[in-house]
Structure 1
Amino acid sequence: MVPAHALPSLDSLVDGVRAGNRAMLARAITLVESRKAEHRALAEELLQKLLPFTGQALRVGITGVPGVGKSTTIDTLGTQLIAQGHRVAVLAVDPSSTRSGGSILGDKTRMARLSMDSRAFIRPSPSAGTLGGVAARTRETMLLCEAAGHDVVLVETVGVGQSETAVADMTDTFLVLMLPGAGDELQGIKKGIIELADIVAVNKADGDNAVRARTAASEYRAALHVLGGRDAHWTVPVLTYSGLTGEGLPELWQQVEQHTARARAAGSFTAKRSAQQVKWMWTLFDDRLRTRMRSEPALRAELARLEKDVADGHLSPTLGAGRIAARLGI
């Protein structure tokens, strides 16, 4: 958490973030991630002041099973984008321990080149037990990075659970990374994830893996042809690339840009972002409601009794929900 004496003034935070000061950006994000009531009020004011300077970045979600090479891909891709004149922010959500709340937070070591560049900003955030492993304040962090002048924001998911859905709901383009030769390619497709994908890319297409990668890509294309895409204006492409050598990544980024261009031309880009904002508002409301329920000892004890009655079969879930709502005055 942020010690009260360590907090800069609101104006200092706004000016520092707008100037692209990485230290001030980091302090602003830490403030936004704080769960203290006094910090939340300041964070809300900060976000409101910076809101006019947000929304200009290209937001890309990246997912894939552990070991697919997400961090290596982001390190190489981010380095290439910076060479083209972009400023890149990476929001990498690490799995928090369900017992201790601890987090690996090792992304800066896995993205060695990118983390050393002043035009890049990497923020590893613990998931803090939120649904699907997505950090509770990832969306606000994205806005702060945009206000700081980063025109590309890459959001890396844990690659397990429901985090893919949450990240797809906060980004413009959702990229699903696959491995070559990982067993039966068609059986390995998770239909729900593929339905979210805007682009599918098979990594590690180098050396002896190149042929297997091309074979896997062909099988994914056939599967996608059967499943169909989620957007009428876009056919999901399947590419091969090497996160290690960087071969194929320029073509991959061209597809990201083309996907955005198609969405803008079809009029769905702005509508999608607007819908995401409204959905996030309700997500935050639900979060606050649950926080209030946990923060009042008397209410927490009453909820525990209700849960036990429902679990023991003495009270129906419907009546239990009604009593909780009545207790909250809703």
Structure 2
Amino acid sequence: GGSWRIGCTGPPGGGKSSFIEQLGMQLLSAGRRVAVLAVDPSSRRTGGSILGDKVRMPLLSTQENAFVRPTPSKATLGGAAPSTRDAITICEEAGFDTVIIETVGVGQSETDVAEMTDMFVLLALPNSGDDVQGIKRGIMEVADAIVVTKADVDPAAANRSVATLTGALRYMSHTESDRTTPVLACSSLSGEGIDEVLRQIEFFFDDARNEHILRRRRRQRGEWFDRAIESELINRLSGLGAFHAACQVMRSQCIEGTVAPSLAVHRLLGRVLLTVREEPT
């Protein structure tokens, strides 16, 4: 529909929650209904997560036309939980015309969030301009806007970062768009610069190139389907007792080094497919 899907990522300590709260309040003032799906860090070993986003967005989470929902990332490769895609659809059906997805932090596969949003916003710290290498090229190439946060701490460093990042972008090309990626600075504490960020977001969605958003969504729906098949197959197979037992045996053999993981998976799935073929229809 006419909803806005905005992904937001950045380094730990980059002030993502504070930025999103300020932006969310501005969006509410502009008459929009805002849902924030904050993907919460899960421990890879225990699967536990803090789920403290409502605490980190105390003002936004209590507003009538806002909804803040943490979703554990369950140690997925990307920064977004598998259930996040469904949650986006549910929020839009419930009447929220702006859905913001906050991710765990920047990582190699963090660009997953770009695969489920219309606009991808990358946050950077004021000193990150001194070391552009610290920001992975792949993430900069999918960013539709880069925002240097905490500009109030050191305005001069923030301005340097904006200049350096703008310069670095000249040597990169956006993976899907020919528009110039804006680089802005703001302070979530004072609110300075947030209005300009909102203006850039409005321009992005009002732009005549809106056609590229429609193309992006069509491609994303195909990819969501592919991911859903993979996820459902794993869930269904894991629920079969015989498969689960065989899986544990193969896993143990991999750990002991008696069989290569790729060969173990090949054998395991071979057995499953054989069973399926033998079952009467």
TM-score > 0.5, shorter chain as reference: yes
Match of 2:147 among 201, 214, 227: 201
Match of 1:165 among 84, 98, 111: 111
Are 1:128 and 2:39 an aligned pair?
Answer: no
Aligned to 2:10: 64
Residue 158 (structure 2) pairs with residue 244 (structure 1) = no
**Deviations for 1:71-106, whole angstroms, at most 9, x for unmatched residues?**
101111111111111110000010112343221111
The answer to whether residue 133 in structure 2 is matched with residue 179 in structure 1 is no
RMSD: 2.1
For 2:204, which of 246, 253, 259 is the aligned residue? 259
Equivalent position of 2:62 in the other structure: 116
Residue of structure 1 in register with 2:224 after alignment: 280
Distance in 2 of aligned mates of 1:324 and 1:196: 37
Aligned to 1:216: 161
SS in 2 for 1:132: coil
Match of 1:79 among 11, 25, 29: 25
Distance in 1, Cα, partners of 2:77 & 2:265:
21
Contact kept in structure 2, 1:233 and 1:266, CA below 8 Å: no
1:325 is the counterpart of 2:258: no
Task: Decide which of 152, 155, 158 is 2:98's aligned counterpart.
Answer: 152
State the TM-score, normalized to the length of structure 2: 0.89
Contact 2:79 2:113 in 1 (8 A): no
Residue in structure 2 matched with residue 293 of structure 1 by the alignment = 237
Deviation of 1:314 (Å): 4.7
Rate the CA distance shift 1:294–1:161 in 2: closer, same or farther, 3 A.
farther
* Aligned position for 1:51: none
Shift of 1:298: 1.8
1:73 alignment partner AA: F
Match of 2:135 among 173, 185, 189: 189
**Hey, what's the Cα distance between the residues in 2 that align with 1:291 and 1:58?**
31
* 3-state SS in 2 of match to 1:184: helix
Classify the secondary structure of the residue corresponding to 1:131. coil
Q: Measure how far apart 1:225 and its partner are.
A: 0.7
Over 3 Å counting, the alpha-carbon distance change for 1:232 and 1:92 in structure 2 is: closer
Contact 1:62 / 1:177 at 8 angstroms: preserved in 2?
yes
TM-fit CA distance, 1:327: 2.1
Of 164, 168, 180, the residue aligned with 1:235 is 180
Whole-angstrom CA distance in 1 between matches of 2:37 and 2:27: 16
Distance 1:232 1:188 in 2: 24
What is the aligned partner in structure 2 of residue 89 from structure 1? Answer: 35
CA contact (8 A) 1:132 1:160 kept: no
Asked which structure has the greater RCO (Cα within 8 Å, sep 6+), the reply is 2
The alpha carbon displacement at 1:217 in A equals 0.7
| 1:189-237 residue CA offsets vs partner (Å, 9 max, x unmatched) | 211211221111101112x511110011100011111123223431111
CA distance in 2, matches of 1:316, 1:117: 54
CA contact (8 A) 1:108 1:122 kept: yes
Opposite residue 130 of structure 2, the aligned amino acid is D
CA distance in 1, matches of 2:146, 2:103: 15
Paired AA for residue 221 in structure 1: T
What amino acid does structure 1 have at the position aligned with 2:162? Answer: A
Does the 8 Å CA contact 1:95/1:158 hold for their aligned counterparts? yes
Uncovered stretches (5+) of structure 1, i.e. residues with no partner: 1-54
Write the deviation string for residues 45-69 of structure 1: whole angstroms up to 9, x where unpaired: xxxxxxxxxx331000000001111
Contact 1:134–1:163 (Cα < 8 Å) also in 2: no
Give me the whole-angstrom Cα distance separating, in 1, the residues matched to 2:67 and 2:177: 35
Structure 1 counterpart SS, 2:95: coil
* Counterpart Cα distance in 2 of 1:64 and 1:318: 34
- The separation in 2 between residues aligned to 1:243 and 1:154, in whole angstroms, is 16
Query: Matched residue of 2:78: which SS?
Result: helix
Question: Which SS does the other structure have where 1:226 is aligned?
Answer: coil
Q: Which has the higher helix share?
A: 1
The gaps in structure 2 that reach 5 residues or longer are 275-281
